[in-house]
Amino acid sequence: MNFSTFWLQRRSRESTKKDSIDSEYLSFDLFYQLSYMSSIAAAGISRSQIFEFASKLPCSSSSYFREIHFLAKQMRYDYAVACRTVGEATEAESARSLLLRLASSLGSGEKEADFLAQEAKVQAESFKNQYERGVESLRKWTEAYAALIVSAALIVMVAAISMLIYSVATSFTVSLVGVTICIAIAGSWAIYRVSPKEVRIHTSSSKCAAYSRARWLARILVPAAISGFFITLLTGFGVGWALIIGAILIFPVGIAGVIFDRQIRKKDTDISTFLRSLGNVASAVEITVSNALERLDMRSTATLAKDVKRLHSRLVSRLKPEVCWQRFSLETGSETIYRSVKMFNDAARLGGDPEEVGERSSLLAMTLDFLRAKRNQVSSSFSLLAFAMHAALVALLVFVVQVILLFGDVVEGIYTQGVAEAQAKALEVFSFNFAGIHILETVALPFILLLSVSTAFAVKAADGGNTYKFFGYLAITLGLSGVGLVLVPMVVDNIFTSIPTM
């Protein structure tokens, strides 16, 4: 076995492991990879430069082109043969098919720019279809989640009533509640699995003010919420008030996450218009991209106006353009903007026509903007349904448990006296079990808490975005649960005190 064969087998094993890790985002990364290669190929650079730049991209699909470039440069493979070799050793079907088509194109002598432009459009359509299938699956699973949660809550209620009527073992009731909790967790996990996968937040978003604010609030308020929850419990105010206090403390973190997410959505919408307009102005007036910023009308991209002004001031100060553009993209906190700007800046710097480069580099952001609008339509309606359903189920469950407990306390003495005077056959038909009903409070509480976490996670998975939004959704579900635990027992007490006793 020669060194090249050994190396390819080892790289194949590593690629297989990587495919299993990044398979969810591979389609998204391939879309970016081909859009980037199409943009820089429009500059008329050599084949080796195209693969060299493609191998340095910060995404999972770049590993394939890194292997191809290594085979071509270090082992003197022809690029067509290297693409075929790496493609045949790739497990992911989408990457494998792309590399084999690329090998065929390079071997036939077709221009790289034409092939990559066509493949970028094909991959955009493929990613669009996959995303839309994910949205459709998300729609169905959000509807199924509502049915699962209602069924789980009804099972707990039936178990609670059964403990009053029959002599049901406590272990059986606890096991039944455990099954319903697993059902709720499985439903939220299914929503996460079928939801479309994309990367919205850049890994180096610390330079973004909105992201830094959300992270700072999380570091302070999340520990404060946990401490406040336990302090409220220890002071004797009850679980309901403890949940309300915890929800109030973590809610600002969720608000900051929502603000950051909305800011990114608006900027992602405007970046495609900004890049196309900038390319058109630079090409029409025949000036550099930096000079075209002065002539650009920013009223069509209002959300990017401040960021563009900072970019222009840095470029005017004669700072390194690559650093200025990178800083511009990082300060937005958006992965889409980072990738689109990198495509535009690299291709323009390599000598590409600004108009054509702007058109190709805006494809990624424009496609994602249309797809996110469809996803938002499903997630927004599901979030309203989930919160309303959670409030109703918690209130109903607490109401049933409190009624059973109060009924047991009121009737137990009378029933015990009546049983002593009743006949044995009558007890076989009409009997109550008051021995284990007080465990209902202990069993219902963890179900309500886990239902709160499960619903918040399901809403976050359906909506996507940054992690800090989860704390906002969790604050809503915990707050609703706390309000139910505080108010519903009061309502039940008022109902029973209004009933005249015999």
What is the tens place of the pLDDT at every residue in 32-55?
888 888 888 888 888 888 888 888
Query: pLDDT per residue over 318-360, tens digit each?
Result: 888 888 888 888 888 888 888 888 888 888 888 888 888 888 8
Q: What is the pLDDT of residue 17?
A: 43
Higher-confidence position of 417 and 259 = 259
Answer yes or no: is pLDDT of 422 > 70: no
Identity of the residue numbered 201: I
Q: Is the dihedral of CA 113, 119, 125, 126 positive or negative?
A: negative
Q: What is the pLDDT of residue 440?
A: 67
Instruction: Name the DSSP class of 207.
Output: G
- What does the domain layout of the chain look like in residue ranges? 3-110, 131-264+367-497, 267-362
For residue 267, what are the contacts with CB-CB under 8 A and spacing of at least 6?
303, 304, 307, 332, 334, 337
Q: Up-side HSE of residue 325: CA atoms within 13 Å toward CB?
A: 20
Contact in structure between 389 and 150 (CB atoms under 8 Å): yes
Query: pLDDT per residue over 169-180, tens digit each?
Result: 566 667 777 777
Query: pLDDT per residue over 441-463, tens digit each?
Result: 777 788 888 889 999 999 999 99
Instruction: Name the DSSP class of 334.
Output: B
Contact in structure between 100 and 83 (CB atoms under 8 Å): yes
DSSP string over 360-397:
HHTHHHHHHHHHHHHHHHHHHHHHHHHHHHHHHHHHHH
